[in-house]
Structure 1
Amino acid sequence: MAENETLDFGHKSRWRRSRNLLRDPASTLDQFIRTAADDCQEAIRLLPAVLRKGTALLALVRALEAGSTVAIQEAVATFKEKRLANIVLAALRCTPSGDKTELARSAAESIIETLIDQIAARSKREKRFISNLEQTELRNALGKEFSPHLTLLSETIEASLRGNPVRLVRKAFPSQRMAPRDVARMSLVVPANPQERPSVR
């Protein structure tokens, strides 16, 4: 089931903070974006551990090469992360060159796009950020926040496609994020040029 998949916004625990914010009418778009970005980073960080416990994505390559529909279905069925498996399978079918790096990048981009689609749909269901302007702002902000994780996601997928050990990623120390309005406020308080700072007499 999708709600048991790490890279699914409906996962019962992975994206809980973000979903709770969507249900909170007092939360702001900035708050939600920052929380969703943190949840995305953590989900992608945990993906290698999930893949190491299960079937390598190389199984999809071999099933596709066998040319058997049954073999492909059986291969997909072995994955806990079925959405990931299906997205990778679609990338395999759409990449004639078979280049693993290109395949992995394409699959990673599709995964991020799917996540953003999911979140946008959930926000409408929760009646949050539903105007066209808000939806555009939501999608653009999520794309900006999620895109830095494309490299790690691509590397994880590529390693599994090659049948190589997937590198685990340590949990980073939580960063102190500032809302855009706080950044703007700081820029007014702190001079850009140190020489412009008032001297103490």
Structure 2
Amino acid sequence: MKSIHAGLNAVAAVLAIISIVAVFDYHNVRSIPHMYSLHSWVGLTVVILYVQQLILGFFIFLLPWAPLSLRAVIMPIHVYSGLLLFATVIATVLMGVTEKLFFVLKNPSYHSFPPEGVFTNALGLLILIFGALIFWIVTRPQWKRPTEPGSTLLQPNGGADGMEGAIAISSGPSPDAADTELSSEGTARKRTLGLDDAGQRSTM
């Protein structure tokens, strides 16, 4: 699952870089100034931070080099940064489509409700609803990835509770696991027999 997560984000980062190169080339051909709008400022910033998030996540979480303590410390920051970047991308898209409408809708103008404007506004609402659904899914405990069997949750404070940003580490059965299981079963049987004897004595 980590490989799929990293692969999809890598594809998205490549597409974002290609899009930025295409925008700069388009501005050069049309002699349009670069980086003058809030849309361009936020857009370039989020792409840079997105690539940085991808590279750090690759070296810390995907490769087995980083110590588990470092992963436990970085995981909450990684999760928060991903949500922040996702929200910023949605804001950038909404600013971009609105900016484009003001540029291209001259006759009829944007404020006269042309079909292009209504369609783009509806598209913006769908994008906003999509983002809200993603945030709902991410923040619901029942949608979180289940812990693998035989795994331990590591956290920055050394606890073992299931908290946000905890790391599940798979561990094989210990050499005494079978003995412990057998002894626990034997203890349970003794307790059951003891309860049965007590019940029989009480009915005599």
TM-score (norm 2): 0.26
**Bigger relative CO (Cα 8 Å, ≥ 6 apart):** 1
Of structures 1 and 2, the larger Rg is shown by 2
Structure (1 or 2) with the greater helix fraction: 2
Q: What TM-score do the two structures reach when normalised by structure 1?
A: 0.26
